[in-house]
Structure 1
Amino acid sequence: MVRAAAADPQVERIFVNAAIKKALCREAQGDRSWLAKVRPYWGHDYHMHVRLGCPNGSAECKGQERPESGEGCGAELEWWFSDEVLHPKPDTEPAKPKPPMTLADLPPACATVLGGK
C-alpha cells in the first residue's frame, strides 16, 4: 500500500513510523526510488499521512520541499533508533502549552473553505 501510494506522481510525501520505514528499506526490491518519498515522522504510530501535490492553477498552494537525495534508508533513518530519540532526557521545565489556533492564524483561503463560500 505504501509503495503504491509513493509511486503515484501526485504524492509528494508519506509520513510513517520509523519502524515502518526501516522495514520498507529492508524489504524493498527492484526499483527503490519510491522510498525517497517515505519519511519517518513523530506521532505516526498507528497511521500514516499522505501529502498530495498542489492542484494545477492553485496559486496559494505551497508544495512540499523535495526530499533529500537518496532513499532515506541510511544514517538519517538510524537516528530515529538512537538513544537520544528512544530515551530522551526529561525537560528541566514543563513545556508551555501552545495557544489555540484560530481562523485568523490561517491563510485567507482557509476561511473561504471553512465558510463554504
Structure 2
Amino acid sequence: MAFETTVALKDCRYSYQINPSVKKFTLRDNTFEMTKSGNYQLSRILEEVPNSNQGFLLKIIINSDLDSFKINITDQSGLRLVNIFKTDGNKVIQEKFYFLMDSLVDREIFTKKEK
C-alpha cells in the first residue's frame, strides 16, 4: 500500500489527513517508533477483550517528510487486510479504532473529515 495524503478506509465514517503542523517529536511523544527507513510507525492491537491477543493489528506509518501516510488493519499475522467496518459484529473494535484516531486528532497529528 502506497503512502497517501488522505486515507479513507473502506466503510469508515471519516477520512484522515496529516495535520500540517505535526512535528517529529510529537510523533515520538505519542509512541510512534522510527523505522530503519526513517518513517514513523504506530502499531496497536484492536481487541474486544483487553490482553486477549485476539483481534486485529492496526498499523499507521507516516513517511519521514511528514506529508503522507498509510493505515492498515490486518489479521494478527499482518498478512491479510481486514475491513472492521463491514459488519456490526465488530462494534467494540470500531469504537477502539475511533477512540485511538480521535486521540491522535486531539494531539494534532491528524485531522479528520466526515464522509
Which TM-score bucket, shorter chain as reference?
under 0.3
Larger radius of gyration: 1
TM-score, with length taken from structure 1: 0.23
Structure with bigger helix share is 1
Structure with bigger strand share is 2
Higher RCO structure (Cα 8 Å, ≥6 apart): 2
